[in-house]
Amino acid sequence: MAIATAQVEAKQPLSKEERMVIVGSSVGTVFEWYDFYLYATLAPFFATLFFPKGNDTAALLSAFTAYAAGFLVRPFGALVFGRIGDLIGRKYTFLVTIVVMGLSTFGVGLLPTFATIGWVAPIIMVVLRLLQGLALGGEYGGAATYVAEHSAHNRRGYNTSWIQTTATVGFFLCLGIIMACRSAMTKDAFASWGWRLPFLASIILLAVSVWIRLKLAESPIFIKMKSEGKTSKAPLSDSFLKYPNNKYALLALLGATAGQGVVWYTGQFYAMFFLQINLKLDYQTTYMLIGASLLLGTPFFIFFGWLSDKIGRLKIILFGCLIASLTFFPLFKQLTHYVNPALETFQNNTRITVAGDPKDETFNLFVGPWSKFSELDRMNDLFGKHGLNFTKVAPEPGKMAVASIQGKNPATGQYITTRVEGFSPASVAAINKALADLGFPKEADKSQVNYPMTLLILFVFLIYVTMVYGPIAAFLVELFPTNIRYTSMSLPYHIGNGWFGGMLPLIATAMVAMHGNIYYGLWYPCIVAGITFVIGALFLKETKDRDISTYHH
């Protein structure tokens, strides 16, 4: 009867209350994502501000480590705020999360640099990132649960998909403000103080978001459950220590959110870093292309949310994971072809080898004052930061690292072989000269970029993102009972997105540096997305027809 009533309601247009709930939840969540993405977008830039100079890949990895710290702590935020949300209520919990998030972001804008206070600077930054991550860990589950519990039965996918657009809209807003700041001042001015403006401006967004959320009422399903005395007294143990809830939490992670997380972060973040770092495209062109793809792709969050109300959530999510895992490699190679054809030609015409003992290499995932880099690590880094593939060969006796560069001089047609031993200022100069003699492009030639094809590839990435992310909120809400929903859905979501997805730039960058191939890092999202497809197809069932006000496992 409840389902039949909800289906009748779903034929009616959105009520004023539904619209207010969607707008209130979405506006606040846009702000949260804007805050969180500011650091992510500026991570390559921050490497020179908050970490010591000397090894570019190490500095970049350090920046990504601080970036990842915010993601790593998100599941703990899900536990803390999810528990509060299931005990006290949805509305007041995500009011707290937005205040913590906003003040942490504002604090980054006031942070002294490494040059001023040394290693204390990145330590404070990591603390602020941890606070941001904790807050975001409680934000998403609250917003998704809140909107779903206000929605008609057959509109949950459509209504909650508006929350899914907020990550992309916040990212787009972030790109726009950073680009406006960088365009309005000199490079030196932005490096000196201009970078702080997007962070400091967030205090205005915080005030607006809090004002809107204060106007919202508590979820009717939560009020009903509380009035009947059916709230969980121990949401954490009920969610993760009692069967079958713990089984569904694990399946939600491995069969849905892990793949969704890596597809999302590959399609938006890793693609942006790949354009800038590996393909040497300038930041303005990169931001314009990413921004255009976001504008074109964002409506598809709503489309796939709406479609999930018709055909189901799970099949859309799993198909997105499957097609992404099968096509990331060829699409990223095509990205190189269309963005920097000169680099592609150089790669094809030049053979680079690095001889060294694998025992002298370190997989530098978390970089800090404790990290040590051998000559071989630094040699790998030198070619990696140029966006060059190289082949590893057996070590030469008594030599820590030996590089060989072979190719044809484009001006004379003469074949040139350069051999460099060890890592020193002289060897770096010799390598750079050899690359220059062979016509290495230091940056992408904007006149040679195939903009329509580049945009098409980035748009395809966004379609993958919208397929896996558009229906995920409704799917997770429907998977768990009302009395532990906030807690149960938040943890697998934030492990999938915070750990599997958020760690992607860090892991992929380290894999590229270790293996000498700019595409090698793609193995990580392809394997995770593939595993998610298999587990989700075998062990999870469709949820769209469940009545979330009465459903129990």
- pLDDT tens, position by position, 421-438: 988 899 999 999 999 989
Model pLDDT for residues 490-545, shown as the tens digit of each residue: 889 989 988 898 788 878 888 887 788 899 999 999 999 999 999 999 999 998 88
Q: Identify the burial level of 52 via C-beta atoms within 10 angstroms of its C-beta, where 0-12 means exposed, 13-18 middle and 19 or more buried.
A: middle
Q: What are phi and psi of 227, to 5 degrees?
A: -65, -25
Instruction: Pinpoint the residues of the chain covered by CATH 3.40.30.
Output: 350-437
CA dihedral 82, 83, 87, 92 (to 10 degrees): -40
Per-residue model confidence (pLDDT) at position 59:
62
Strand order in the sheet with 391-393: 391-393, 351-355, 402-408, 415-421
The Cα 290–Cα 401 span in angstroms is 38
Is pLDDT larger for residue 59 or for residue 330? 330
Q: What is the pTM of this model?
A: 0.84
The Cα 80–Cα 78 span in angstroms is 6
**How long a stretch of residues is the chain?**
553
In the chain, % helix, strand, coil (3-state, to 5) comes to 75, 5, 25
Measured CA angle at 305 (ends 302, 308), to 5 deg: 150
Out of 39-53, 290-304, 498-512, 516-530, least confident range: 39-53
Instruction: Pinpoint the residues of the chain covered by CATH 1.20.1250.20.
Output: 15-338+448-539
- Note the CATH number of domain 350-437: 3.40.30
Reduced to 3 states, what is the DSSP secondary structure of residue 408?
strand
Helix (H) or strand (E) holding 480: none
| Residue owning tokens 């990132």 | 129
* Per-range mean pLDDT, top range of 103-117, 153-167, 457-471, 481-495: 457-471
Pick the CATH number of 15-338+448-539 from 3.30.930.10, 1.20.1250.20, 2.60.40.10, 3.40.630.40: 1.20.1250.20
The contacts found for 15-18 with CB under 8 angstroms, 24 or more apart, are 17/150, 17/217, 18/150, 18/151, 18/152, 18/155, 18/159
The Cα 146–Cα 85 span in angstroms is 10
Model pLDDT for residues 59-97, shown as the tens digit of each residue: 666 666 666 677 778 888 888 888 888 888 777 887 888
Measured CA angle at 68 (ends 64, 74), to 5 deg: 165
User: Residue 458 in contact with residue 290, Cβ under 8 Å?
Assistant: yes
Please list, in sequence order, all residues whose beta carbon lies within 8 angstroms of the beta carbon of residue 387, skipping any fewer than 6 positions away: 277, 278, 279, 280, 340, 343, 518
Q: Where do runs of H (alpha helix) occur along 109-201? A: 114-117, 120-150, 156-184, 187-192, 197-200
Per-residue model confidence (pLDDT) at position 4:
40
